């Protein structure tokens, strides 16, 4: 998947590649080491690697009262070129003092785009090929986490602020168009609900529709087709006609839901990678969660984390290394004899990792 040319310039004349590793919670501690081994297997296709093991997560919060230490943020900002994040356990109940470290990291590092390619390789649940990218705005929407409880005569009311800005919508729109330029179909679909949320989603929709006409892009997106879809209809059509989508650009909440739904079409969340990208930093992150039900059993699927490492490399400009990881992962999936239980196999995490490394 081609990404913005301006970000590829990160790789020029670099002698070493400094990667922060943040396993965080649950199976993150099992799959991030797999991604590290895939990177180490690439040899001279990438610069010399330096890894920094960093702390974050809900489990850290339960021990120390801090989910994201200042030291982790500072090392990422001053001592790393990129990072890999594992998974975070987010309790469904309110926990006083706790806030998700991955949401905080996206804000601290201005990682405004969550880019989630979903591609079927050797398997697709609905019988139709899937090859799309969800480009999710990463810093706004309801994820600003401005929630309050108000007591009224009829009981408690929970209220949340939803933030959509022209600035954030414009830059996520540019990211989506840039990604579409590097893909064969060159199509962007705006996902929104402006028929109901005419002000917030209306601003998102209108701002992205205006991106091709911005003076600074000077006709660069003339070859990109633009479509739009109401979000509930988009979910329906995603399952019925996944082949109609190429690049889907969405506000934070919709993008989160759509990419997880799309993962069902290719067999497992354990296959879907992502990167959190800004203009100066990139952090790979498998789409799956911390999976406490399988933690410690040695059966977590490492392929999404390895693909996330490949996405990270590609975003930094190391196409050869990224392609070697992707090719090895795809061969393991297509061959089908070494797969974790989520894909119908009986292999362990380590067996799948070894199978990929042999092919790299």
Q: Which residues are catalytic?
A: 143, 193, 232, 256, 260
Sign, CA torsion 55/59/65/66: positive
Question: How far is the C-alpha of 66 from the C-alpha of 60, rounded, in Å?
Answer: 7
Exposed, middle or buried: residue 274 (CB in 10 Å: 0-12, 13-18, 19+)?
buried
**Measuring CA to CA, how many Å separate 310 from each of 37, 207, 222, 263, 336?**
12, 31, 29, 18, 21
Measured torsion, CA atoms of residues 197, 201, 206, 207, in degrees rounded to the nearest 10: 150
β-sheet with 247-250: strand ranges across: 48-53, 16-24, 82-87, 282-284, 275-277, 113-119, 131-137, 247-250, 187-192, 225-230
Q: Are 192 and 205 in contact (CB under 8 A)?
A: yes
Q: Are 138 and 283 in contact (CB under 8 A)?
A: no
């Amino acid at each position: 998947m081609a990404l913005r040319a301006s970000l590829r310039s990160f790789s020029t004349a670099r002698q070493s590649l400094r990667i922060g590793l943040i396993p965080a919670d649950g199976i993150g501690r099992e799959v991030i080491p797999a991604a590290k081994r895939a990177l180490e297997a690439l040899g001279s296709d990438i610069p010399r690697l330096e890894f920094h093991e960093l702390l974050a997560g809900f489990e850290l919060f339960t021990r120390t009262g801090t989910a994201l230490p200042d030291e982790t943020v500072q090392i990422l900002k001053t001592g790393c070129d990129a990072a890999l994040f594992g998974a975070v356990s987010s309790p469904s109940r309110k926990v006083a003092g706790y806030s998700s470290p991955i949401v905080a990291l996206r804000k601290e590092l201005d990682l405004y785009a969550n880019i989630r390619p979903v591609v079927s390789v050797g398997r697709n649940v609905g019988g139709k090929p899937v090859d799309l990218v969800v480009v999710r705005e990463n810093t706004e929407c309801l994820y600003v986490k401005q929630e309050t409880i108000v007591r009224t005569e009829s009981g408690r009311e929970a209220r949340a602020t939803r933030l959509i800005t022209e600035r954030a919508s414009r830059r996520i729109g540019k990211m989506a168009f840039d990604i579409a330029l590097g893909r064969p179909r060159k199509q962007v679909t705006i996902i929104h609900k402006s028929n109901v949320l005419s002000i917030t989603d209306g601003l998102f929709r209108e701002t992205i529709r205006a991106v091709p006409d911005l003076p600074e892009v000077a006709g660069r997106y003339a070859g990109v087709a633009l479509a739009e879809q109401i979000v509930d209809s988009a979910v329906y059509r995603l399952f019925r006609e996944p082949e109609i989508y190429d690049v889907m650009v969405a506000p934070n909440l919709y993008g989160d839901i759509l990419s997880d739904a799309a993962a069902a079409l290719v067999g497992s969340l354990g296959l879907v990678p992502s990167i959190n990208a800004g203009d100066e930093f990139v952090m790979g992150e498998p789409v799956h969660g911390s999976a406490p039900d399988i933690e410690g059993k040695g059966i977590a699927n490492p392929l999404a984390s390895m693909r996330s490492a490949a996405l990270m490399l590609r975003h930094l400009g190391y196409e050869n290394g990224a392609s070697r990881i992707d090719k090895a992962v795809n061969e393991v999936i297509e061959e089908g004899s070494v797969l974790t239980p989520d894909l119908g196999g009986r292999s362990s995490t380590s067996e799948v990792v070894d199978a990929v490394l042999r092919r790299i």
